[in-house]
Structure 1
């Protein structure tokens, strides 16, 4: 039986084109369309689709408010379409906070043309979220963001994320291990996963942190700023020449590659322009993790979080070969169990943890850093 999709957009052309693309997949069926957010909320409740694609800018009720209401009344995986602007990035991050699981840039030229790559990507992302719907139906609890000025998260947002209750992790703290870097790679579902972990790290956290999140170039600066406002540690979009400092996290800029270079006493970040077609992901977890292996050797705790595909597997393998420690997010708490599964199946990951357990485990593991 095909997964049911509700397409939401105020543009009749975009509704029709997205519907045509999705209906070309045998496992997907667009059961209806909605012309604004209010219409989307009503149809989400009555039709109970497996996935919703949602525009942000709409009349009557915008996409962000629609996501909040859907999460409160009929939690459903939602993929947002976003413009590639600073304002579009901010709105998309707001939608993810509200409960949306994923997003794609809204590129009219690619959607209008018979672009096989764009159509294939859209179908793939919707299928992944549709499969996640099964796990969401089983989910009953979730904990998300602890803000500097706000201890609780909007209740509507918590219902979407199938995160296990936070319980003490049964893992061995390596008291003889002296870490010098925490490296985290993630993709689909990553923005909220990173928030969940990083907001719980203390201001005095002893290591520098590199973050690789698959995200368009227009989004990473806004995301870094948001994380910095939420967290006690300092977080910035990485810039060429940044020195890696304890208690500071560096987010790889979208559309480029971030590598680690430097000497023992002055390790720094190098940002590379990447116009090659060889690498699918820009930034790439493999590239950043691989460079960390060369510079930091085995003094790294590498973490692979929720995401589609297998980016990070080879970089984590390089780190592991130098003696580094690799952890992965467990299947139940992932939005998409792709990247963590890849390192787990490859035998690279030593431990699988629920999302809510990572912060405490990281703090304990790196206490001797």
Structure 2
């Protein structure tokens, strides 16, 4: 059974069709939503990301494109900058922060969902929720497996509802998903179950 009260961070991976999926999830999160949300969307290299501006006008939560070493603030959505891997660092019991890397692409992608998921799993362990959304490759499946092995929870978008089902299907095939949910089901759980009291 999913225990929403223990979740301290949410990581989301998406590719083709992912912006539409995120538009079902992020705008419904209330101002009282506590966990930080870290998002990797595959975007074309060499182009600025329009995602922070797009979602800032639609969401109650703060939307950020972080800099290297930024502290991770509760109730904030972080979009990985184009051309950079986004990782979570939490060394020696320090508060988690963001690290940006120009290491080679992983699964042909930079930013990589796997890189974010794996680093967040090491930082948050069982307190992490990973979500794999629509996408046309298998990025995120291995990272989701790491989250599960660390005691965290993973959801995948129902492939039948995904514009590009390959990404959630890969996570499911990796046996790295606790539940397969529609976007409406995810939105309901996130908005109602993981909120701090005002």
TM norm structure 1: 0.50
Q: Is the Cα contact below 8 Å between 2:106 and 2:112 reproduced in 1?
A: no
Question: What pairs up with 1:281-360 in 2 under 5 angstroms?
Answer: 281-360=109-188
Tell me: CA distance 1:337–1:277, structure 2 relative to 1, closer, same or farther (3 Å).
closer
SS at match of 1:242: coil
1:153-196 C-alpha deviation (Å, 9 max, x unpaired): xxxxxxxxxxxxxxxxxxx5426x51110111010001111111
Q: Which of 173, 178, 181 is equivalent to 2:9?
A: 181
Q: Which residue number corresponds to residue 200 of structure 1?
A: 28
Q: Which of 41, 44, 63 is equivalent to 1:213?
A: 41
User: How many corresponding residue pairs?
Assistant: 195
Q: CA deviation at 1:200?
A: 0.3
Question: What pairs up with 1:1-369 in 2 under 5 angstroms?
Answer: 172-174=1-3, 177-217=5-45, 218-220=47-49, 222-263=50-91, 264-274=93-103, 276=104, 279-367=107-195
1:41-65 C-alpha deviation (Å, 9 max, x unpaired): xxxxxxxxxxxxxxxxxxxxxxxxx
Rg larger in 1 or in 2? Answer: 1
Q: CA deviation at 1:260?
A: 0.5
Q: Is the Cα contact below 8 Å between 1:225 and 1:236 reproduced in 2?
A: no
Residue ranges of structure 1 left out of the alignment (5+ in a row)? 1-171
Tell me: CA distance 1:279–1:328, structure 2 relative to 1, closer, same or farther (3 Å).
closer
RMSD (Å) for aligned C-alpha atoms: 1.9
Tell me: CA distance 1:350–1:332, structure 2 relative to 1, closer, same or farther (3 Å).
same
Q: Is the Cα contact below 8 Å between 2:107 and 2:139 reproduced in 1?
A: no
Q: CA deviation at 1:265?
A: 4.8
Q: CA deviation at 1:336?
A: 0.8
Q: CA deviation at 1:204?
A: 1.4
Q: CA deviation at 1:213?
A: 0.4
Q: Supply the distance in 1 between the matched residues of 2:177 and 2:135 (Cα, whole angstroms).
A: 15
Q: CA deviation at 1:230?
A: 0.9
Tell me: CA distance 1:270–1:363, structure 2 relative to 1, closer, same or farther (3 Å).
same
Tell me: CA distance 1:358–1:305, structure 2 relative to 1, closer, same or farther (3 Å).
same
Q: Supply the distance in 2 between the matched residues of 1:235 and 1:338 (Cα, whole angstroms).
A: 27
Tell me: CA distance 1:368–1:265, structure 2 relative to 1, closer, same or farther (3 Å).
farther
Q: CA deviation at 1:278?
A: 5.7
SS at match of 1:296: helix
TM norm structure 2: 0.91
Q: Is the Cα contact below 8 Å between 1:184 and 1:211 reproduced in 2?
A: yes
- Higher relative contact order, structure no. (Cα contacts within 8 Å, ≥ 6 residues apart): 2
Q: CA deviation at 1:357?
A: 2.1
